[in-house]
């Protein structure tokens, strides 16, 4: 097993499987990677699919993925004027410190670390040219994030089965014999 360097630009150019024990930072890592990709303008929120095992975990993951976007959306132009030079220097720790010192609600302050880590990937982003563009970009991204797909593996599998050619509506029943045979 290796330790991931989330500031490594190659990190966003590969597929990753993040597997670790509870409380080890998997959700933090996924949140940083998703936020970094969004800020790098590599993908849009509707192109993200995140899965987990339980409904409670899916709800938590969705909230954690949206929280950095909420934080970035909450920043006003004077704050962006302070942040953009730090962003151009790729100074994630300074960005994190600045965000943690802001008068934010605790829920948003928790995402300062994720934003600080993700910001290492944003130096060349077109939205980083001005505070107004930064605000507009993150507001649009947050609005689009309402389409973010976070679900359980079970619901994803059922959705995919329902899309197959000739799939009947009855196969979506969890106890359907064809589904149970398929899952064995």
Give the residue from 34, 12, 73, 45 showing the smallest Cα distance to 149: 45
Q: Give residue 67's pLDDT band: very low, low, confident or very high (50, 70, 90).
A: very high
Q: Is residue 49 predicted with pLDDT exceeding 90?
A: no
Write down the pLDDT at residue 8: 84
pLDDT digits (tens, 9 = 90+) for 73-108: 999 999 999 999 999 999 999 999 999 999 999 999
CA 95 to chain centre: 18
Q: Do the Cβ atoms of 79 and 60 come closer than 8 Å?
A: no
- Please report, for residues 61, 97, 147, 161, 171, the alpha-carbon distance to residue 166 in angstroms, rounded to integers and kept in the order given: 33, 55, 28, 10, 10
**Position 51 confidence tier, pLDDT thresholds 50, 70, 90:** confident
Structural tokens at position 98: 């600045």
Quick one: pLDDT at residue 167? 56
Unique residue bearing structure tokens 């994190």? 96
Containing H/E element for 70? helix 55-74
Statement: residue 120 has pLDDT above 80: yes
Domain residue ranges of the chain, discontinuous segments joined by +: 9-147, 155-184
Averaged pLDDT, 177-183 = 57
- pLDDT computed for residue 154 by the predictor: 86
Give the predicted TM-score (pTM) of the model: 0.83
pLDDT at residue 156, as a whole number = 84
């Amino acid at each position: 097993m290796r330790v991931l360097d989330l500031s490594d630009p190659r990190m966003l150019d590969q597929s990753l499987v993040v597997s670790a024990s509870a409380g080890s930072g998997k959700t933090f890592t996924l949140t940083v990677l998703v936020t970094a990709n969004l800020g790098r303008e590599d993908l849009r929120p509707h192109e993200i699919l995140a899965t987990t095992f339980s409904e409670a975990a899916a709800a938590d993951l969705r909230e954690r993925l949206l929280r950095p976007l909420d934080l970035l959306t909450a920043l006003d132009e004077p704050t962006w004027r302070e942040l953009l030079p730090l962003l151009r220097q790729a100074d994630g720790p300074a960005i994190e410190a600045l965000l943690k010192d802001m008068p934010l609600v605790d829920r948003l302050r928790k995402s300062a670390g994720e934003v600080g880590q993700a910001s290492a990937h944003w130096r060349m982003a077109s939205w980083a040219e001005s505070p107004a563009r930064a605000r507009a970009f993150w507001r649009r991204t947050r609005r689009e994030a309402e389409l973010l797909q976070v679900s359980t593996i079970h619901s994803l599998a059922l959705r995919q089965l329902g899309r197959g050619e000739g799939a009947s509506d009855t196969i979506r029943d969890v106890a359907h014999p064809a589904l149970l045979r398929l899952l064995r």
